[in-house]
Amino acid sequence: MFDLGGKVAAITGAGSGIGAAIATLFARQGARVAVIDVNEAASAAVVDAIRRDGGDALARRCDVAIAEAVAHTFGDLQAAFGRLDILVNNAGISHVGTIEQTSLDDLDRLYAVNVRGVYLCTRAAIPLMLEHGGGVIVNLASIASLIGVADRFAYSMTKGAVLTMTMSVALDYVKRGIRCNCICPARVQTPFVDGFLRKHYPGREDEMRKTLEAYHPLGRMATPEEVAALALYLCSDEAAFVTGQAYPIDGGVLVA
């Protein structure tokens, strides 16, 4: 089950955290993987680890907010692999604050990566998928797509857009062999969270980490590997009857 042999997968934001876990798992399941990240050194390190484990991967630096960079990257992937079967739109950034604490520059910065980036990568990937009869797209949305989260105005706005883009693409391409779903995690223990705690709560990291963990009825944050396992299911043939759906992975937040 969950075999990705013969498939080519592109994962954005794959230099660390959730994206790196997805790239590593997909390669282990037989996919040839493009590790795409704005941090070239980070993506190269993930590729090195995949290759040491016997997987097939290449690293590409790309700022998903820049149209020319995305077009170049996906053209390069087509030349390198000859096809594209899976796209995981994982690249994203965050912001803490209410609408009063969100400047226009903050809003534009999040929109550029979290919304325009998903649009650009999906728009570049779909023609490549259609050349070979279809494919699968998984977008990383958020629990903030489904419920209100305090002090996350701009972030919630962008992840709501990811959710509705997912539904739109799923509907428009359901007859053309492309499935599109999104994953809606609550908080995930990643280097991003560690950096967030260091920046906003210096000296209180352990205290605030416990607060973040307590937000979930299960009493902890998710791991990147748990999110990657859900992404694997959605991108595998075992999920061939699933499209247009938002999958929470939230430690019980929605039922609390």
Burial class, 63, CB count within 10 angstroms (exposed 0-12 / middle 13-18 / buried 19+): middle
The runs of H, that is alpha helices, within 112-252 are 117-130, 153-173, 191-200, 205-214, 224-235
> What CA–CA distance (Å, rounded) separates 70 from 115?
14
SS3 call for 150: coil
SS3 call for 168: helix
Would you tell me how many other CB atoms lie within 10 Å of the CB of residue 8? 25
Instruction: Read off φ and ψ for residue 33, nearest 5 degrees.
Output: -120, 135
Kindly name the residue from 155, 173, 201, 247 that is annotated as catalytic: 155
Q: Please give the single-letter amino acid code of residue 161.
A: A
Segment holding 28, helix H or strand E: helix 17-28
Is 111 marked active-site? no
Q: Please give the single-letter amino acid code of residue 42.
A: A
Place of tokens 């077009």: 71
Please state the three-class secondary structure of 184-217 as a single string: EECCECCHHHHHHHHHHCCCCHHHHHHHHHHCCC
Secondary-structure percent of the chain, ordered helix, strand, coil, rounded to 5: 50, 15, 30
Active site positions, annotated? 155
